[in-house]
A and B are shown apart, each in its own frame.
Chain A
């Protein structure tokens, strides 16, 4: 173990030892000692015993198990206490340290080749879970007001209980506005790029302008689009079209210039026509750029549609729900809506990334397995 890992291990073990002597939580206005929580006590014992690693060898798997056990007993004990006391926080920090130690040792193992590479996904998974556990423990144990930050469990309950509302919002915003606008905007950007491809003059004129416009806060056109196209999804789709058009235009233009002089010469020696060169050489060479735009646009489209709904909408839609529920300070519903948006955004991005891998399988970034 490195010095840093030893420090982590020592810290985790000592915190477990310390927690044994501290009040664990407040139950019915009285501090309750650790002895009333047998599961926590067992975890702390195991944590203290883990200090034996300075004499014996202890596998990193043990650290992983300790981290998971810590998370489980913490979550289990949350229902039994009203408010957390110092002992609770010690257990939380010790659990975090065990998880960190596990991640450190696993990463070192993978780097040295002693641990199979496939185990690598455990580290980000552990990190994500750890964030959720800390979030839950701090909000419920620390008595954070729901308005400031609701607990993940509360958000989950809200999500489960309002599926029909969320589904209607999702349908209105994502299926109608985002997808329509995304397809139209990307197709238009692509078509314009192809159309001006034969004129170097127009390309030189449009590329800097397109680059500049992509950097502008285009989202600001939302009120204008609402004025032109009405409150329903058409105006949101229009915002999405404008926002997705420029990244697609700029990326396609740069992509069409990406094929090498040599390959183009080869096509010329084959006496291939403009369209043959375009279809067989330049478009495939432009694919990484085009997919880059598709991925950027997948996030932009969702943002555009949601923000456009802040400027006026029928009484359904993700942006409408967020702004109206926040007005009622119903924060859990807002977070549930955000969870849906996050899921939709990640899935949309993920689909584009998978498509990219399938289409540009020849590209070095895909072949080496790190896209």
Chain B
């Protein structure tokens, strides 16, 4: 019973996570300690005991580093404790970000797949597009996210589309690269077999190249969906008072609401985890329906 736990990944991950939480507590005590003593001195609180100090340090209003239970409490209050439609609800902000992420991700994936199909079937496309697609990723494209949003706003396009555009740009790249590799992965012998069947280009694509490329597609999609979320969050930064997790981060940093920043971060992390999990689940279902062993 214990052996698989120890030799598997579950127990090590749990123990390392627990260690990280303990380190987090120690760090927040270390970072907030001096400020609490300063507060005591300023407000003329005398005769505090060490346990009182410790309690206050762990529950400061605007700590330098909030403790895990503060973040969890804020997260709980702003998700379960608020109506979903409220502007203070993280579910509301999370949904805004998630919708832009998903829209951008879907467009990015479709765009990436079509580019990959073109590249695999045309030598000229391969030669002219591939170097630029790779170069496009060395460009810190997130830097223009605010500009795209502001400029599109100026011409009357606002809301979901500008954010989704950034997400599209970030998520198409892993898909193109992965799919080009995947669509090229059938071996010569398999392509020859299709040739002897006198299969058309489309049949070869649909019955050989596409199924072979699917594992590559899902791997790329996992990277793409994470990138897409980052894109949506950064695209929300210029919309200062607006909604979305990015706007929440910016507002938190303006007003020094560290707990709010951290709970927005936790929401983003949970979203990323959930998105990747969904892609993996679809991957597993596809594999099963294609006859892979569970």
Contact = CB atoms under 8 A, between A and B. Distances in A.
A201 B140 contact: no
Contacts of A55: none
Interface string A293-325: 000001100110011001110000011001100
Interface in B115-136: 122-124, 126-132, 135
Interface residues of B, number: 62
B217 interface: no
B253 interface: yes
B226 interface: yes
Contact of B154 (A100, A222, A329): A329
B140 A342 contact: yes
A42 interface: no
Contacts of A208: 9, 13
A307 B258 contact: no
A215 B138 contact: no
Contacts of A123: 124, 127-128
A135 interface: no
B221 to A, nearest CB: 12
Contact of A219 (B20, B233, B258): B233
Q: Which of B129, B140, B258, B272 has the most CB of A within 10 A?
A: B140
Contact of B252 (A126, A201, A223, A322): A223
Contact of A206 (B16, B124, B223, B252): B16
B127 A107 contact: yes
Contacts, number: 171
Give the secondary structure class of A's interface. Answer: helix
B16 A209 contact: yes
B142 interface: yes
B150 interface: yes
Given A319-B143, A322-B144, A323-B238, A349 B128 contact: no
Interface stretch (B104-112, B206-214, B260-268): B260-268
Contacts of A201: 6, 12, 15
A303 B140 contact: yes
B144 A338 contact: yes
B64 A227 contact: yes
A107 B121 CA distance: 12
Nearest to A123: B127
Contacts of B223: 215
Given A208-B13, A217-B229, A311-B250, A306 B142 contact: yes
Interface in B142-166: 142-144, 146-147, 150-151, 154-155
Contacts of B17: 205, 209
Contacts of A222: 249
B140 A205 contact: no
